[in-house]
Structure 1
Amino acid sequence: LKEWTKAMPEGSIVATDIGNNSSMANSYLRFSDVRQHISALSWGNCGFAYGAALGAKVGRPDKPVFAFQGDGAYGISGLSEVMTAVREDIPVIAIVANNLEWGAEKKNQIDFFGNRFVGVNLPENPDYAKLAEVMGAKGYRVTHADEVGDAVRDAVASGRPCVIDAVIQGGEEVLAEPFRRDAFQPPQRFLPKYSHLT
């Protein structure tokens, strides 16, 4: 995140998804003006960011526009919408935080289900940079923080749809605290006629 924000041009628009990676990004990104950050926030739909970034770029073609998604969310919509960006010549830059897990769900399973993991580990992902190139976009695969800045600057300068496949560390020790911790708490009933349902 630090290297990306240092390389991101002033005035860029960023659409973030839901999930663990995006909740961290939402905490650290800083903007100098209004209408630069588009986010689904805590109960938005997974896969939101890439479509939102496409719309932002159509509305503001003069601004660099980024979609920041984890690998799970990117697989829901970003992966297929790269073809839309190429076909319609919408130069959005996707940054995929590729950590081989559904991080938010994994953190919930750590906190509420005693580290019993079901369906949260992604055993392997495709090379998202190569897939982008097959679809006609530019692809970058970065595995070290010192590669991120050059990839971001080159993607912005290219004026084309781009995907930066950022391979990052996954695992329990790096997951952020969930921002919807109350989701697994018993419901509160405030109307007497529903009190028997608690």
Structure 2
Amino acid sequence: METIDAITKRRSIRKFIDKEIPIEIVEKILDSAIKAPSPKNRQPWKFIVITNKDKSSMIEAMQTGIENEKKLEGLLPNSLRFISGAEYTMKIMKQAPITILIFNTQENYLWDEQSIESKFFNTANIQSIGASIENMLLTATDLGIGSLWICDIFFAYREICQWLGEKQQLIAAISLGYADESPHPRPRKKFNDIVEWR
């Protein structure tokens, strides 16, 4: 598949069939992630692949985080209106055969104090991690695998990090599986509304 075709065909998949992904396909997806550009070649990413073996523990951590948010004991007490979306995402994660949790190895927990210099470095690192995530999504599309880029893990940020014993910055997750749906493209802003030529 051409790169532009993969970009055009990529969709956020929220329904997966009950079929395992061969390990060599998951490895190809991860290999594409580590080929992303990064500032000064720092390669600030770490990927933890959650398979069926540990899926129930991941879901339990996610559920605990969501419940703590509902009781205003979590990190996002001003985001209660989004809890139902996080619960829906958790169901998708439960259904998907693989979920990859993505960490920034150059930073610790989100609530740590940062200097201005550290904020610049962290912004650059997060940009490169975003590029690695997009590489995974496009490679998955190319290999016939559905994917969902997940940020709702922030509703269980502390609980997931504690479950994994990770002290590095949790950035996102991707759930992978064979798609059980073919969503239409989502609407996009008009080209001339978002591009300015000078």
TM-score, length basis structure 2: 0.23
- Give 1 or 2: higher helix fraction: 2
| Structure with greater contact order relative to length (CA < 8 Å, sep ≥ 6) | 2
TM-score, length basis structure 1: 0.23
